[in-house]
Structure 1
C-alpha cells in the first residue's frame, strides 16, 4: 500500500504557455524517470456510487471530495493501481493498492471481494465503500503526461495533454472509443508538493498561480454525456 499526502493545485493553460514553463522547469527540475523523456500514457477508469455521490460532491463544490479509480500505464499491463483520493480544498491524500490484472477485471464486473484478502484497514475501508455504495465503472479517461520532479518539498509538476473520455466505461485493458474533453490547445498543469514549494519553482509559476482551477477530468467526462 502507498499513501501520499500533499498539496495539489491545478491550472488550465495554453499549449504555448505550457511550452515556456516546461523550458524553464527543465533548467531546475528532473524529468520523470518513467516513460520516454518524462512522457508517458495514463488510463484511469473512474468508479462512482449508484447515485453518483462523488460526482455531485465535486460539481456542488463540496470541500471534501472522494474518488475511486483504477489506473494503468499500458493496455498490456499485468497489474493496475486501485487508488482512493481524498481531497479537502487544496490538501489531499492518495491511497494506492497494487492489484493484479485479473483483480482489476473482477472489479470492473462488480466484484471487489478480492480486497478482503488484503486484511488491511484501507482494503476493508474501500471494500465497504464500494459495496455499500454499489460502486461501478462510470468512465474511462486517457491522456499523455509530461512530469517533472524535484526532491526538496517532494515537488511534482505534470502537464496533461490529449485528454480523452469514453462514454462506455468498460474495457480497462482494451481499445475503447474516446472523445476529446475540451480544446486540444489547452493543457492541464498540476503542481503537487509536500510541505513547501521551493522559491525558485514558485517564481517560475508566479504568473500562472493566479489562474488556479478546480478542473476535474472525471467531472468533465461525466458531464459531457449526462
Structure 2
C-alpha cells in the first residue's frame, strides 16, 4: 500500500547538470533508485494546485509564516479520466512538512474539491484524510489555479526508508487547460539544464550526507515550484505568454506538447 501520511523535513538545492551528475554518482554508494527509476529513466509527476481566486494560499506561503498549507491533485504521468490519483493536503509547521493524501479516481477528486462533498467511501480510501480535506475545503473557496509537471529521479537510503532524495527537472507549468488528463505540456519554470534536488528526512540527515553536501559546496535554497510559478505569473501580468492566458488553438497546444516531449528526450540523452 502506498504511504498516505508523511512527516519529514525537506531541504532544497538548485544545481546545473554537471553538479547533478557530481552528486548523483556519489549518492549511488549509499542509496538505491526508486522502483519507477530502475531502468535509469525518469518518471513524470503532474499536479493541479488549488487556491482562492485571490491566491490566498500561495501568498500566505510566500510570506513564510510558521504554518502554511496547500491542496493539490497529483498523478503519475498523464492520467485517464477514471485513473487513480492522489488528493493531497500539504502543511508545513515550524519547518516540519506534513503531507496527508488519499487515493481517488480523477473525477472523484475534481468533484470533491468543487463541491466540498466527499465521495462515497470504498476500500483504498483513507477516511481520516478525507475528513481533514473536507474540513479544509469548508474554510476556503477554491478553484483550480495552476498545473505543474516535472520529470523525476528518486532515491532511497539503502539502510532504511527514512531518507529520500529526489531530483526534478524539465519543470513546466500552465494556467489554462487546467485538467490533468489534458497533457503534460507547459511553460518552462527554470532554465534548461537546471535541477531541483530535495532532501527529505524524517529526522536529521546522516553524517555522510552532510559531509558530501559540504564537500560539493551545495547550499540550501527556499525554491518552491508553485511559489515561483506564481511569482512568474505576476511578472507576466502585463505581457502574458500563451500558456498563461485562457484559450489557444488546438494546433498550438499540440505544438507545445511536441516541444515538451522533445525537451524531455534531449535531457535523457
- Flag the structure with more relative contact order, 1 or 2, with Cα contacts below 8 A and sequence separation at least 6: 1
Residue of structure 1 in register with 2:105 after alignment? 100
Q: Who wins on radius of gyration, i.e. which is larger?
A: 2
Q: Is the 8 A contact 1:46 1:69 kept in 2?
A: yes
Q: Which runs of 5+ in 2 are unaligned?
A: 235-269
Structural mapping, 1:31-180, within 5 Å: 31-35=33-37, 36-37=39-40, 39-76=42-79, 78-107=83-112, 110-115=114-119, 117=121, 120-150=127-157, 151-152=159-160, 154-168=162-176, 170-175=178-183, 177-180=185-188
Compared with structure 1, are the counterparts of its residues 62 and 209 closer, same or farther at alpha carbon in structure 2 (3 Å cutoff)?
farther
* Alignment counterpart, residue 196 of structure 2, candidates 188, 191, 209: 188
Following the alignment from structure 1 to structure 2, what is the Cα–Cα distance between the partners of residues 207 and 89? 28
1:170-202 deviation digits (Å, cap 9, x = unpaired): 111112641000212321100001123222222
Q: Is the 8 A contact 2:45 2:152 kept in 1?
A: yes
Number of corresponding residues: 225
Q: Which runs of 5+ in 1 are unaligned?
A: none
- Structure having the higher strand fraction is 1
Shift of 1:107: 4.3
Q: Is the 8 A contact 1:32 1:147 kept in 2?
A: yes
1:66-117 deviation digits (Å, cap 9, x = unpaired): 1111110121351101111111243111101111122134246x23412574
* Moved segments of 4+, more than 6 Å: none
Q: Is the 8 A contact 1:10 1:214 kept in 2?
A: yes
Q: Is the 8 A contact 1:166 1:176 kept in 2?
A: no
Following the alignment from structure 2 to structure 1, what is the Cα–Cα distance between the partners of residues 26 and 227? 31
1:118-168 deviation digits (Å, cap 9, x = unpaired): 683432221132243111111010100011101436100011000001121
TM norm structure 1: 0.89
> What is the Cα-based RMSD across aligned positions, in Å?
2.3
